[in-house]
A and B are shown apart, each in its own frame.
Chain A
């Protein structure tokens, strides 16, 4: 598969994921950049974020057309989220990846359980 085709496949998969689940699509983009385009892990995370700006923006506009977006609440989450991302990139070099992953796994499991039950 050519490079352009691979990027297009990543874009379409990430876009569908983003539109369907209200996420950025980074869970699709990061591993595929590493696997298909031989990216280093950190490069993949950085590049993924830049793609998400566009993907998330497009998905937000499409969802807004359905009248589903609550802008005020989005900003309420987005501001502490933006503070978090600054902290996250800053500690990416310093903190043990395992400790952060463990905390994240716990949050995922607990919130998944709440959604299910």
Chain B
């Protein structure tokens, strides 16, 4: 990894975390491409490795959000503790589908999120008015 790779990796990591704070996500949607593009990870390896960063980010994020009174811890824990079935299904599936299919569906999720976000802030209608 050269200096450019390091810069890209750290910048995307920072933005991913920032998105976590603002949108309540773990930041994986940027951590995964950061690992694929700048550190030569496979899609599957990047997805698995991204989860480590997500745990760190969500712990810190929960701590900060709690100070603003934004966390309903009971509901959060219930959702977390009821998730194993889904998690297991997802992980097993990720390990059996072809790498390219995983990559393309991940990109599709990114595009959906970009669209959803754009609609949320009214971007399409603003562009249409021009």
Give residues in A with beta carbon < 8 Å to B. 4, 7-8, 10-27, 29-30, 33, 37, 39, 42-60, 62-64, 66, 68-71, 73-92, 97-98, 100-105, 107-109, 111-116
Contact = CB atoms under 8 A, between A and B. Distances in A.
A81 B57 contact: yes
Q: Is the interface of A mostly helix, strand, loop or mixed?
A: helix
B87 A59 contact: yes
A101 B118 contact: yes
Given A29-B79, A70-B41, A59 B123 contact: no
Q: Specify which of A13, A29, A114 lies most central, judged by the most chain B CB atoms within 10 Å of its CB.
A: A29
Contacts, number: 399
B30 A107 contact: yes
Interface residues of B, number: 96
A10 B52 CA distance: 22
Contact of B47 (A42, A63, A114): A63
Contacts of A102: 121, 123
Given A53-B58, A109-B111, A15 B19 contact: no
Interface in B28-73: 28-37, 39, 41, 43-62, 64-66, 68, 70-73
Nearest to B75: A47
Contact of B56 (A19, A46, A79, A91): A79
Contacts of A86: 17, 21, 60, 64
Given A11-B83, A85-B27, A101-B117, 9 more contacts: A19-B89, A30-B23, A42-B70, A56-B26, A68-B95, A80-B13, A83-B17, A87-B18, A90-B21
B106 A12 contact: no
B82 interface: yes
A20 to B, nearest CB: 4
- Going nearest first, the 10 A-B pairs with the smallest beta carbon separation are A88-B21, A19-B90, A24-B26, A84-B17, A22-B47, A74-B52, A54-B80, A15-B86, A45-B24, A46-B70
B123 A23 contact: no
